[in-house]
Amino acid sequence: MTIEKFLQYIGYELRLSPHTVTSYKRDLEQFRDFVTGHGKREWDVASTTTVDVRAWIVDLSRQGLASRSIRRKVQALRAYFRWLQREGVVQENPAADVELSKLPKQLPAMVREKNLDSLLDSPLDGADFVDVRNRLVVMMLYETGIRRAELIGLQDADVDTRAASLKVLGKRNKHRIVPFGAELGSLIEQYRDLRQAQCGSTDAFFVTPKGRRFYPSIVYRIVHESLAQVGGGSKLSPHVLRHTFASSMLNHGAQLNSVKELLGHSSLAATQVYTHVTFSELKNNYKLAHPRAQKKGG
């Protein structure tokens, strides 16, 4: 059973994202090169042992690879050998019992609401196509919580201002409907008028001035430059706006399960991290606001 067949399985049957498939391919080929001396001998997967996996981890550590990256690579190896077990190629999974160092829990980075209000409430009078489009990118990511890839994948037909909703194609090719407010709807109509004048009819919703579909780096650049104007913090990526959306929803009374559905999470576990964020924010606000919070015990 080759690595390519495994990649076909996770790509076509499990419908993992192309990015994940590429990462698995790179990780598995790196391990294969390690155990075969970069092709000096054939890789007999059935003879691979836990000792081989641990030796690989040591080698990766010596190269200075971060714990998070090593953990991901070993998880890819575990998944590959699980599949080989299911196919009857091997009996044991040599990566199954390898202990990995626990990663410190990192709370998602966010932008303060007042900073985003400052950005999104600033006037757009006389703005051109690019100005309105860039404002719409930031507003849509913040007000709907969709992922960068989901925003790029939007078709014009997916954006319905009458129903005030987006039809989003998320991970594992699952569709979901995400509502939005009147302000975003008005900006969408303004953008569509300018887009029509700039480049005519298009199937893709977000486009360049030449009518080409968006690509990841342009979305990152728009968000980074926009948030930098209002001191958004050290992390100024599109995903930060998704984190901010989730935290803002919970801070203003939304139910956890509703936020889960809006984000397109498969389970509540992925959404629950934002409850820690909101509690952390609550503690900070308490310390700043309560007159006795700063007093030390006697």
Domain boundaries, given as residue ranges, for the chain: 3-86, 113-289
Helix or strand run (H / E) with residue 117: helix 113-120
pLDDT in tens, 165-189: 999 999 888 899 999 999 999 999 9
Annotate 156-183 with b (16+ C-beta within 10 A) or e (fewer).
eebbeeeeebbebbbeeeeebebebeee
Of residues 9, 80, 142, 274, which has the active-site annotation? 274
Alpha-carbon torsion, ordered 108, 113, 119, 122, to 10 deg: 170
239 is catalytic: yes
Q: Decide if 224 is catalytic.
A: no
Structure tokens at 50: 């836990």
Looking at the structure, give the CATH architecture of the domain made up of residues 113-289.
Answer: Orthogonal Bundle (1.10)
86 is annotated as an active-site residue: no
**Mean pLDDT over all residues of the chain?**
87
Catalytic one of 192, 213, 224, 239? 239
Which member of 133, 135, 147, 260 is catalytic? 147
CATH 1.10.150.130 is the classification of domain 3-86: yes
Find the catalytic residue in 73, 135, 242, 260.
Answer: 242
Read off the amino acid at residue 146: I
Confidence bin at 298 (pLDDT 50/70/90): very low
175-179, strands of its sheet edge to edge: 159-160, 165-169, 175-179
- Of the candidates 25, 54, 112, 171, the residue annotated as catalytic is 171
Q: Is residue 148 among the annotated active site residues? A: no
274 included as an active-site residue: yes
Token pair recorded at residue 199: 């480049």
pTM of the model: 0.63
Active-site residue, 290 included: no
